[in-house]
Amino acid sequence: MMDPDKELALLEKEYPKSHRAWIRDTPADLDDRILSLAARHAPYLQATHQLKEEQARLKQSLDDGDIFLPTTRPLKGGRPGPRIPPQLLESWSDSYESMPSASIRSPANRRATVPPGAKQLLVSLKNAKQQTWLNTIADIVKDGDIELASYLLRRYRTKFPHG
Amino acid sequence: MTDEELLQHYAMGHSEGMTELYLRLKTGLYSYIYNRVKDANLADDIMQDVWSKLITETDRIVEFVDDDVLQFSLRPYLYRMAGNRVTDYYRASGRLQSLGDDENYLVSDMPDPTQSLVDREFAYCLERRMRPLRLKLHEAFWLTRDESMTYKQAALALGVATETVKDWVKQVLKAIRPCREEYEYDGS
């Protein structure tokens, strides 16, 4: 019996992948439409990227105690307030999480952002292992439901912060 | 640069990242879509739909690329997205005959009338020979006609083992073998 890979290679030789019958190029106007959309969207991505970088840099600086938080005390003669020792400084992320505006911060109150099907999945993943979470997310990504996959990835990172 | 690195480059706001990615993948992906729907206008719509989604969701999709644990691969993702759109079209147009969970067949798959006569005759032959085969086999065959698509990537896109894809493609290649002799068609 012939080796399966060898047999496939022989068959592929008869119908090479470069066969004219199955190669079809895109029309120029379609290329223009897609590439112009990409160009129009790039500035938004650049702004988002810069914002994320700035947030990360600020968080790092606050965590390291390299910069000062603005003081609430009135300044005397325009001088800056006292430096807060790093050990007394709550990290940016901790203070963000403990902000009192629960109506905005609490996931329970952000119902509009929970994608369809998420609740059932979370129930089925309640006691699931880490790998099961990853497999589920990977399957959803392959199915193209980015919104649901993003939501589950955020929940995954909360559940397995060191994963 | 890999496909994923180009997407990351675009996610930083560099439009040339998406331009290069598109130019790299467009012919293979468009051929895949066109060969499955055999309608240029519909292929255009699906292609535009897939890329629009990729472009507008880049900041979210790139999170998967950045996550080492997920081992996200962009190419199978795009083909899978396109494949899902094609299947939606088959369902909506009543071209799908379902004989079970994973036993879907195409009712008819007529060649594009704008093709040349020889190409059309050849396409008729392919259609006739491939029609009795399960839809999954069609998917595997058309996915792997893209020269840059490996069997492993096709397996990822289809959610099956690499050996399964090879077996499916082999079945199709065997089934369409007579078309080449019938039309003395070398495709060069």
For each successive 10 residues of chain B (188 residues), what is the average pLDDT? 93 94 94 89 94 92 83 87 88 73 67 62 83 88 85 88 92 88 62
Looking at the structure, tell me whether residues B103 and B187 fall in a common domain: yes
Looking at the structure, tell me whether residues B138 and B103 fall in a common domain: yes
Residue B26 phi, psi dihedral angles, 5° rounding: -60, -45
Looking at the structure, tell me whether residues B123 and B104 fall in a common domain: yes
Cβ distance of B174 and A11 shorter than 8 Å: yes
Looking at the structure, tell me whether residues B124 and B187 fall in a common domain: yes
pLDDT at A110: 46
pLDDT at A102: 43
Mutation for B interface: A36, A37, A45, A137, most B CBs within 10 A: A45
Q: Give the domain-ending residue among B44, B61, B93.
A: B93
Tens-place pLDDT, residues A4-14: 788 888 888 87
CA atoms within 13 A on the CB side of B77: 26
Looking at the structure, tell me whether residues B69 and B100 fall in a common domain: no
Secondary structure of chain A as H, E, C letters: CCCHHHHHHHHHHHCCCCCHHHCCCCCHHHHHHHHHHHHHHHHHHHHHHHHHHHHHHHHHHHHHCCCCCCCCCCCCCCCCCCCCCHHHCCCHHHHHHCCCCHHHHCHHHCHHHCCCCHHHHHHHCCCCCHHHHHHHHHHHHHHCCHHHHHHHHHHHHHHCCCC
Looking at the structure, tell me whether residues B32 and B42 fall in a common domain: yes
Distance CA B76, CA B146 (A): 12
Tens-place pLDDT, residues A103-157: 444 445 444 578 888 888 888 888 888 888 888 887 787 676 778 888 888 888 8
User: CATH number of the domain that B132 lies in?
Assistant: 1.10.10.10
Identify all chain A residues contacting B11, using CB atoms and an 8 Å cutoff.
45, 49
Close Cβ partners of A54 (under 8 Å, ≥ 6 residues apart): none
Q: Is the pLDDT of residue A94 over 70?
A: no
Cβ distance of B27 and A26 shorter than 8 Å: yes
Where is pLDDT greater, at B101 or A38?
Answer: A38
B166 touches chain A (CB under 8 A): yes
- How far is CA A131 from its chain centroid? 19
Mutation for B interface: A41, A50, A153, A160, most B CBs within 10 A: A41
pLDDT at A34: 95
Q: Does residue B104 sit in helix, strand or coil?
A: strand
CB B167 within 8 A of CB A9: no
pLDDT at B13: 92
Distance CA B139, CA B156 (A): 12
Looking at the structure, tell me whether residues B146 and B79 fall in a common domain: no
pTM value > 0.80: no
Looking at the structure, tell me whether residues B174 and B184 fall in a common domain: yes
Q: Does residue B184 sit in helix, strand or coil?
A: coil
**Beta partners for residue B100, in sequence order:** none
pLDDT at B187: 57
A161 touches chain B (CB under 8 A): no
B61 touches chain A (CB under 8 A): yes
pLDDT at B55: 94
Cβ distance of A42 and B173 shorter than 8 Å: no
Q: Is the pLDDT of residue A25 over 70?
A: yes
Cβ distance of B180 and A33 shorter than 8 Å: no
Looking at the structure, tell me whether residues B12 and B58 fall in a common domain: yes
The alpha helices in chain B, defined as continuous H runs, are: 3-11, 15-37, 40-56, 58-66, 74-92, 117-130, 135-143, 151-158, 162-175, 177-183
Residue B129: give the domain boundaries.
Answer: 95-188
From B179, which residue of chain A is nearest by alpha-carbon distance? A15
Residues 54-83 of A with CB under 8 A from B: none
Domains of chain B: total = 2
Distance CA B131, CA B110 (A): 10
How many CB atoms neighbour CB B162 within 10 A? 15
Where is pLDDT greater, at A107 or A22?
Answer: A22
pLDDT at A147: 80
From A162, which residue of chain B is nearest by alpha-carbon distance? B69
Tens-place pLDDT, residues A53-87: 887 787 777 777 666 555 555 555 555 555 555 55
Looking at the structure, tell me whether residues B117 and B187 fall in a common domain: yes
From B76, which residue of chain A is nearest by alpha-carbon distance? A142
Q: Give the domain-ending residue among B93, B120, B152.
A: B93
The C-alpha torsion from A123 through A128 and A130 to A135, rounded to 10°, is: -70
Of B15, B35, B63, the CB nearest to A38: B15
- How far is CA A29 from its chain centroid? 32
Identify all chain B residues contacting A35, using CB atoms and an 8 Å cutoff.
18-19, 22
Distance CA A41, CA B74 (A): 19
Looking at the structure, tell me whether residues B35 and B66 fall in a common domain: yes
Q: Counting one residue from A and one from B, how many pairs have CB atoms under 8 Å apart?
A: 147
A146 touches chain B (CB under 8 A): yes
B162-175 vs B135-143: helix crossing angle, rounded to 10: 100
Distance CA B143, CA B151 (A): 9
Looking at the structure, tell me whether residues B73 and B130 fall in a common domain: no
Q: Give the domain-ending residue among B31, B60, B93.
A: B93
User: CATH number of the domain that B59 lies in?
Assistant: 1.10.1740.10
The predicted complex's ipTM stands at 0.80
Identify all chain B residues contacting A19, using CB atoms and an 8 Å cutoff.
145, 187
Cβ distance of B30 and A23 shorter than 8 Å: no
CA distance A33 to chain B (A): 8
Residue B105 phi, psi dihedral angles, 5° rounding: -130, 155
A118 touches chain B (CB under 8 A): no
